[in-house]
Structure 1
Amino acid sequence: MALLLFIIVLIMMVYALRHILFTLSRLFGQQRHPYIDIDSAQWPLITVFIAAHNEEKVIAGCIEALLNSNYPADCLRIVPVNDRSADRTRDIIDSYVLAYPGRITPYHRIGGKPGKAAALKDALIHAQGDIAIIFDADYIPGRGLLKQLTSPFFDPEVGAVMGRVVPMNAGVNLLTRMLDLERSGGYQVDQQARMNLKLVPQYGGTVGGVRLSAVDAVGGWHDNVLAEDTDITYRLLINGWKTIYTNRSECYEEVPEDWTVRIKQVKRWAKGHNQVLIRYWFPFVTSSYLTLRERVDGLLLLLVFIMPPLLLIGWLLAIILYFFNEGSLVSTLIPVFALMAYGTMGNFAAFFEITIAVLLDGNRHRLLLLPLNLFGFIISLFAISSSVGSLFIDHIFKRDMVWEKTIRYRKV
């Protein structure tokens, strides 16, 4: 047990060092924004998909923002993907189709496999052009965002692009403020550092785009996963396509405003991410298209949602060793456990990454909330560990995946 505990501590230390490296890169390294300044070009035809399921509260805002984009109207196709909505989503979409003839082509899906991945797979067949930009219905893109997300595709090696997600409802309550800190650390520091260091930026499924010919070349869009974004990120990387992160390309989302919704969201992310881990870890580490640093970073990213149950196992082993009179060993490891508790969970933005992100964003007063993030950390720890167990049970009993939609809060 002592040996297993020591191995767990070493693994956690690797993640802690990874976050330190990312933080130093964001503070002192060369910041890579290779495509951000392209404003005038022969812009390609793109199709913008809006994933929508019972989105009557938010769909109008996303459509209006896209209609006000500075992307050439004759090169832009807007396709709201209405996936079996039971509210007024269809009526709202159709009202915009009538008001803006020729600019919006709705895709009303009344059957088929449930879930965002399945809906997008069906809708992508109707894309025009080789570039698909995807938004969730609660996102509000700025006027210049489509150009910023499209410009990296002038590089023929780019298969996917991801922008920065910023919460619009951060001031609602304590949870939204904590999630705002998490998003800041995850994008402002973590994603940008991976871009700086030429590691593995991740396509996030919204506020981003994919090259459809690249997706077809790697086997098409998969609808049998909960994390279609992570799935396509790794399949593209395995086959030699680059993913680009553009930190200055901001888009605004709603984050969960109550803990029940947040826990369901995190569990869905964890289950989907670990599905990708099971499928692609070996093809990824053996891909001839990747450098050693990309393989190491990509594998660490794949393992992120395995760390919570591993951490819980470490705590349990420490307690058992203590009661077996191995207290000296446990006391020696206490400083290491303190470090790994504060700095290991990549998708929750390690505390020092959050600190630097807040300082870079110019919102120093938000640092007062930093100690409270430990509370969110503990809740996510158990939620993700539960999700890992659920995935194992799903595999044994051949249970179907269940998509848990995130509730919207905006007033109609």
Structure 2
Amino acid sequence: MAILATFALLFAALFAVCCLLLAAFIGSLLYMVVLHHRLKEAGLRREEMLLSTPLPADADLPHVVVQIPSFNEGAVVRRGAESAAALDWPRDKLHIQLLDDSTDETAEMVRQVAAELRARGFDVVALQRTDRSGYKGGALHEAMQKTPHDFFAIFDVDYIPPTDFLRVCMRPFFAEPKTAFVQARFDFLNPHENALTEMQMVTLDAHLGIEQATRCWAGHPLPFNGTCGIWQRAAIDAGGGWKGDTVTEDLDLTYRGWVKGWRALFLTSVGVPGELPADTKTWLRQQQRWQDGFRHVSMRMFPEILKSRDITPSAKLAALLHLCMALNQPVLLVGVASGILAGLLAPSLVPLLLTLFVITVAWVLVCATTFLRAGHNFIRGGEIPPLEFGVVLMRFVGGQIATVVRSFGVHFRKMFSKPKPVVFDRTPKRGN
């Protein structure tokens, strides 16, 4: 009995530690809201100043390569390529690369669209690979080697940049030449298609409007969002180039460049609409890929950040807290398991365990609600009334539970199967 009691106390202690860690991780979102309100005025003023930087005459503008990765996304290939061709930039300095790894009829469609645009006088090439080595990161890396130019505007194939995107987003590079990349804000083509897309809109608005904007304003590491941004070659090279050994090549390159001293800019005032997954299965697969990639990058970059002598202690702390968010699900799963075991071994501990659990859940809900509402108010001006927003919040909670359950199943199966190589599970697009 003494041994069982000892194990029960150990599991209870582990449960308490997990609750504290989760409270700290989620509490960082509340801190971001506070920091956002403190820095917003100065941050928006700086953004306005950078976007008012005059551009050189057209003859002196740099060449820009627009890169559009695709994989079996024929429904949106033509629209994506034509939106790139419609960008307002000197025709002789606008170059479009369609980076297609498709294995279906999309491949022929890409070749046809490229030929049609070339016939209209645009510099468009279809770079098609026979295998997906490195996935999106590999495609971006190979495409860079085929051009001598220094600026790369990257769009996932379903995003439709406004025609003045380059005229607006290239300006900061002339004001601050050491900018690694300029990231525009996602907007959405189908935010109110159903309950799932509305929940995603609210979640991504909070991520972009609160997390990304505030990191930029505070000088914290600013992750690239994988699309709707412009990189310059020097920053990519400094970070070691695009790599395909993680499924979040954007976050990976961001941190490798950041450790080398390159910084980035997030633009709250420039929105680029794209398509949100409208079915639960597709969305859950997307979330799993993002979570797996976040963990890959965290494990890779933790040692690099800690041993760097060029990063201040406060900047290291900001980076490590950000990367620690990758531990949310593992900590939650360990906490649930340890709490159940503690309760089974020592039923007398159940009231204490439940109290700690309820306090943690309440804290998480307060932080998440504040974070999501602040992002919605900032980006959308609070267009969803409070009562309706409460319903959206319930969907968010349900979505998080679903991702945890799916993740648990994925990791449980991995325990009893042979290790498999990393696979980039691209989110399919319907062309809405």
**CA 1:164–1:16 in structure 2 vs 1: closer, same or farther (change >3 Å)?**
same
Q: How many residues align?
A: 404
Give the whole-Å Cα distance in 1 for the aligned partners of 2:23 and 2:132. 45
Return the offset for 1:211.
Answer: 1.9
Q: Which residue of 1 aligns with 2:130?
A: 110
Q: Which residue of 1 aligns with 2:151?
A: 131
Return the offset for 1:93.
Answer: 2.2
1:220 to 230, 241, 259: 241
Give the whole-Å Cα distance in 2 for the aligned partners of 1:222 and 1:114. 7
How do residues 11-410 of structure 1 correspond to structure 2 at under 5 angstroms? Answer: 11-31=21-41, 32-33=43-44, 34-35=46-47, 36-38=50-52, 40-42=54-56, 43-88=61-106, 89-111=109-131, 113=133, 115-154=135-174, 155-323=176-344, 324=346, 325-342=348-365, 350-360=368-378, 361-362=380-381, 363-365=383-385, 367=389, 368-386=391-409, 397-410=418-431
List per-residue Cα deviations over 1:194-214 (Å, max 9, x = no partner).
122221221111111222122
Return the offset for 1:95.
Answer: 4.1
RMSD over aligned CA atoms reads 2.4
**CA 1:388–1:186 in structure 2 vs 1: closer, same or farther (change >3 Å)?**
farther
Contact 2:91 / 2:122 at 8 angstroms: preserved in 1? no
Give the whole-Å Cα distance in 2 for the aligned partners of 1:182 and 1:132. 28
**CA 1:391–1:242 in structure 2 vs 1: closer, same or farther (change >3 Å)?**
farther
Secondary structure of the corresponding residue to residue 322 of structure 1: helix
> Greater share of helix residues, 1 or 2?
2
Secondary structure of the corresponding residue to residue 75 of structure 2: coil
TM-score by length of 2: 0.86
Secondary structure of the corresponding residue to residue 123 of structure 2: coil
Give the whole-Å Cα distance in 2 for the aligned partners of 1:114 and 1:126. 17
Give the whole-Å Cα distance in 1 for the aligned partners of 2:126 and 2:210. 37
The one-letter amino acid paired with 1:357 is: G
Secondary structure of the corresponding residue to residue 359 of structure 1: helix
Return the offset for 1:101.
Answer: 2.0
Contact 1:77 / 1:104 at 8 angstroms: preserved in 2? yes
List per-residue Cα deviations over 1:160-182 (Å, max 9, x = no partner).
33221122111221111111111
Give the whole-Å Cα distance in 1 for the aligned partners of 2:136 and 2:414. 19
Give the whole-Å Cα distance in 2 for the aligned partners of 1:343 and 1:100. 55
**CA 1:205–1:252 in structure 2 vs 1: closer, same or farther (change >3 Å)?**
same
Contact 1:306 / 1:388 at 8 angstroms: preserved in 2? no
In percent, how many aligned pairs have the same letter?
Answer: 22
Query: Which has the higher Rg, Structure 1 or Structure 2?
Result: 2
Contact 1:204 / 1:229 at 8 angstroms: preserved in 2? yes
Q: Which runs of 5+ in 1 are unaligned?
A: 345-349
Contact 2:95 / 2:123 at 8 angstroms: preserved in 1? yes
Give the whole-Å Cα distance in 2 for the aligned partners of 1:387 and 1:280. 24
Contact 1:56 / 1:92 at 8 angstroms: preserved in 2? no
List per-residue Cα deviations over 1:313-357 (Å, max 9, x = no partner).
22233333334111343244144321354367xxxxx33221112
